[in-house]
Amino acid sequence: MTYVATPPSTDSTAKRARETLDRAVGRLLDLQLPSGAWKGELETNVTMDAEDMMLRVFLGIDTAETREQTARWIRSQQRADGTWATFAGGPGDLSTTVEAWIALRMAGDKPAAEHMVSAREFIVSAGGLAETRVFTRIWCALFGWWDWTDLPAMPPELMYLGKRLPLNIYSWGCWARQTIVPLTVVCTLRPKRRMKWDLAQLRVECRGSEAELRVECRGSAAEEVYRDQVYRDQVYRDQRSGAGVSIRGSFLTATQPAEAFFNRLDKGLHIYHRHAIGPVRRNALRRAAEWIIARQEADGGWGGIQPPWVYSILALHALGYPLDHPVLKAAIDGLEGFVITEDTPDGPVRRLEACQSPVWDTGLALNALLDAGVDPRDPALRRAADWLIDEQITAPGDWVEQRPKVPPGGWAFEYANGNYPDTDDSAIIVMGLARVITTRGPVQEQAVSRGTAWTAGMQSKDGGWGAFDADNTSNWPAKLPFCDFGAVTDPPSADVTAHVVEMLAAVGRSRGARCKRGVQWLLDHQESDGSWFGRWGANHVYGTGVVVPALIAAGVDPGAGSIRAAVHWLEDHQNTDGGWGEDLRSYDDPAWIGRGDSTPSQTAWALMALVAAGELGTSLQRGMDHLAETQLPEGSWAEDRFTGTGFPGDFYIAYHLYRLIFPVWALGRATQALRGGEQGNRPSLSLTAKATS
């Protein structure tokens, strides 16, 4: 059948949207850095700040100033109930609250202070230290508050495992392997710096009742952590496949044999630790150290993210590297580049970004401005394109373990992360570079060609794309009691696959075999309600908002059942104020899927899908009106909710530029479509066109 698009909205709606867009474009251009890049703050939660303080105290490099400013920031983020959460508006989180309490205690806050008492009461009611995640208990062990022998074992002998064996380091996602390798060193050498105070107040005693035994008796703690992690992973898979989450009880029963096996394995590894063969262990530690040092980035860090950076410092220090060693000096100095300081009415505060996203922000901004109608020859877009071209990674990284024949040419998320380009950034950047017109034609053409080849070549065997690696789908790592810190592998996801599919269509490869397999993967992974799961953004609104434009760009008929089902889902989940929102609790509780306070970024994602599907009527008009009504005078929007995802169920992000970039992108496509354009899926501009100036 031939699909007939909904009649366009009124001229007044289009005019208002254009005025809103013009203000937003002006604001976005104002925020461009002299380098040509854009960089918004990447906000997470106070574990970054607490662990930064604990690291500095452990190394003996903390100062009164850093303690005072960090503590002031942590206090400012405490909620009325005494807790700290992992995302704005979310529930109190036990591990986050414990780490914040410890950091404030290190800063000199008295345990009897009101804010410390309220935090302690929550911690105890939630089960105390025994119920915290493994990472929190590792920090406690570093200061003598937890017994190293009561932590799950992770030996450095993992470095001996070849890539064909289960649990080899390349079976983990890149962020996990970069964290696990240094932790094998830390947990083997077991360094300790005792404090003059303890955490007795944060423990729950065993008194014999079933509930108390559950939360404190040490034999059950790891098992409970493991069961929760296995369940979360199964929920994640079920949400992507549409299976739902009603099978919790039967699933846990079915996994009991596997759980028993991995608990026995953990006990065996603890025994091996006590009787490790000296030369074998020493060589394993040496291999781990060499692996870590070889992956240190130009900015002194590892992977451009906080966990491997911090644990690599601890590992090398435990191995005897002095703090003035060039590797450690560069690492510690480099952390300062992730620090944000600002003045507040209570005094200056200091907080640490978990990561920085300039390449991602710049790629998104470039595409948004192009779709908003900014001239592809505009000097601002040329500067952005030049900066991105220079950021392309043309050397191999860890991804070659799975794709040794694929030539390099991707882009990373951060300023410095040469070992780990990702397909999501690369797809977005190729789409932008394929359309902007610079004075570097041949160089630009080569960058687009290399980027396309690398990104396409990272396709997994099932037809989808993961973010950093191909076929990184092993079930083994998540089964270990050690792994309770979020996603530990990098399987294909709908949002990343959609961006790659849209990129392939943008460069004229929609009829190619890779694009067709990607389209089929997306169709096969549509949820039963018509939406798509969002791995790197919250959540089904993001997944659906990304997938629909990709499918249309790749040639799927807007009248196809998959597209109609997605449109119906979006329309059914539009809020009464005209916007869209989805609370991050949807990753754990299906009742929240598609529900939440409206945000500008999530509203924009929904609008981009509606425009691509040819839905230019009431829902689109209400969404555009919502953005117009909530726009701030300076041209941006307020967004007090987190809409980015690090690890579903565990770690979330507020990208401060999302609230501006995505409305620009959505309004640009919408106003173009209302004028009778191509609904946001514009063909690539010829790179052979030469700039005239």
Other Cβ atoms closer than 10 A to 692: 7
Name residues whose C-beta falls within 8 Å of residue 475's C-beta, 6 or more positions apart in sequence.
Answer: none
> What token pair was written down for 71?
């503590």
Look up tokens 């789908």; give the residue. Answer: 473
> Which is nearest to 657 in space by CA: 338, 356, 385?
356
Looking at residue 122, its amino acid is F
For residue 205, the model assigns a pLDDT of 67
Q: Beta partners for 339?
A: 352
H-helix segments, 31-172: 47-59, 64-76, 94-106, 114-125, 134-142
Say how far apart CA 137 and CA 57 lie, in whole Å.
Answer: 17
Question: Cβ distance 411 to 390 under 8 Å?
Answer: no
Dihedral Cα 285, 287, 289, 290, nearest 10 deg = 160
| Cβ proximity of 342 and 42 under 8 Å | no
Annotated catalytic residue 625: no
Between 632 and 270, the more confident residue is 632
**How far apart are the two ends of the chain, measured CA to CA in Å?**
48
Report the range of poorest mean pLDDT among 160-174, 241-255, 483-497. 241-255
Asked if the model's pLDDT at residue 76 lies above 80, the reply is yes
pLDDT over 90 at 684, yes or no: no
- Write down the pLDDT at residue 9: 53
Quote the pLDDT of residue 231: 43
Cα separation values, 639 from 32, 89, 485, Å: 20, 12, 27
What is the reported pLDDT for 477?
Answer: 87
Classify 23 as helix, strand or coil. helix
At a CB cut-off of 8 Å and minimum separation 6, what does 649 contact? 232, 235, 236, 486, 587, 588
Rounded distance between C-alpha atoms, residue 71 and residue 64, angstroms: 10
What's the whole-number mean pLDDT along residues 631-641? 97
Task: Give the tens place of pLDDT for each residue, 314-337.
Answer: 999 999 999 999 999 999 999 999
pLDDT at 424 over 60: yes
Supply the DSSP symbol for 43. Answer: E
Q: Which amino acid is at 635?
A: G
% of the chain surpassing 70 pLDDT:
88
Q: Where are the domains of the chain?
A: 11-42+355-458+493-674, 45-200+260-352
Inter-residue contact 458 to 450 (CB < 8 Å): no
Report which of 283, 280, 301 is spatially closest to residue 292, judged by C-alpha positions. 301
Q: Of 35, 439, 581, 396, nearest to 410 (Cα)?
A: 396
* pLDDT above 90 coverage of the chain, percent: 81
Residue 482: its pLDDT value, please? 76
Distance CA 490, CA 423 (A): 12
**pLDDT confidence band for 258 (50 / 70 / 90):** low
pLDDT digits (tens, 9 = 90+) for 548-569: 999 999 999 999 999 999 999 9
Cβ atoms of 304 and 416 within 8 Å: the answer is: yes
Which of 150-154, 293-297, 452-456, 618-622 comes out lowest in average pLDDT?
Answer: 150-154
What pLDDT, on the 0 to 100 scale, is given for residue 264?
81
Report the alpha-carbon angle 185-191-193, nearest 5.
150
Dist. CA 420–CA 411, nearest whole Å: 8
The arithmetic mean of pLDDT across residues 458-463, rounded, is: 98
**Based on the number of CB atoms within 10 Å of its own CB, is 326 exposed (0-12), middle (13-18) or buried (19 or more)?**
exposed
Three-state secondary structure call for residue 481: coil
User: Would you say residue 385 has pLDDT above 50?
Assistant: yes
Helices (H), 145-209: 174-189
Which residues, in sequence order, are bridge partners of residue 477?
none
Amino acid at site 79: R
Partner residues linked to 653 by β-bridges: 644
- Better-predicted residue by pLDDT, 132 or 687: 132
**Cα torsion through 390, 391, 394, 399, rounded to 10:** -170
Residue 619 in tokens: 């829902």
Q: pLDDT of 354-384, one tens digit each? A: 999 999 999 999 999 999 999 999 999 999 9
Instruction: Tell me the average pLDDT across 182-199.
Output: 96
pLDDT, tens digit (0-9, with 9 covering 90-100), for 474-523: 988 888 877 777 789 999 999 999 999 999 999 999 999 999 999 999 99
In this predicted model, what pLDDT tens digit does every residue of 401-423 receive, in sequence order? 999 999 999 999 999 999 999 99
β-sheet bridge partners, residue 92: 85
168-171: which pairs have CB atoms within 8 A and are 24 or more residues apart?
A: 169/291, 170/398, 170/401, 170/402, 170/469, 171/472, 171/474, 171/476, 171/477, 171/489
Cβ–Cβ < 8 Å for 689, 442: no
For the chain, counts of helices (H) and of strands (E): 25, 5
pTM of the model: 0.90
Catalytic pick from 52, 266, 299, 424? 424
Query: Could you tell me the two tokens for 630?
Result: 């909530």
42: phi then psi, degrees, rounded to nearest 5: -110, 100
pLDDT of residue 291: 97
Question: Which stretches of 242-305 are DSSP H helices?
Answer: 248-254, 256-274, 278-294
In the three-class reduction of DSSP (H, G, I as helix; E, B as strand; rest coil), residue 636 is classed as coil
Alpha helix positions (H), 613-657: 618-630
Does residue 229 surpass a pLDDT of 50? no
The CATH class of 45-200+260-352 is mainly alpha
Structure tokens, 281? 């262990």
CA angle 148, 150, 153 (to 5 degrees): 75
Find the helix packing angle between 47-59 and 94-106, rounded to 10°: 40
pLDDT of amino acid 681: 41
What does the pLDDT read at residue 199? 96
- At 513-549, the pLDDT tens digits run 999 999 999 999 999 999 999 999 999 999 999 999 9
Rounded CA-CA distance 202/53 in Å is: 19
- Residue 210: per-residue pLDDT: 36
Cα–Cα distance measured from residue 187 to residue 353, given in angstroms and rounded to the nearest whole number: 25
Q: pLDDT averaged over the chain?
A: 89
Residue 622 pLDDT more than 50?
Answer: yes
Burial of 339 (0-12, 13-18, 19+ CB in 10 A): middle
Nearest one of 582, 576, 581, 615 to 598, comparing CA atoms:
581
DSSP for 410-469, written as a single string = -B-SSSS-TT--BHHHHHHHHHHHTT---S-HHHHHHHHHHHHHHHHHT--TTS---SSS
What value does the mean pLDDT take over residues 103-108? 98
- The Cα–Cα gap between 40 and 19 comes to 24
Measured distance CA(445)–CA(438) in Å, rounded: 10
At what angle are helices 134-142 and 174-189 packed, to 10 degrees?
Answer: 30
| Degrees to nearest 5, angle at CA 532 with 528 and 534 | 140
Which CATH number is associated with domain 11-42+355-458+493-674?
Answer: 1.50.10.20
Residue-wise burial string across 261-284, b where 16 or more C-beta atoms lie within 10 A, e elsewhere = ebbebbeebbeebeebeeeebeeb
Do 11-42+355-458+493-674 and 45-200+260-352 have matching folds? yes
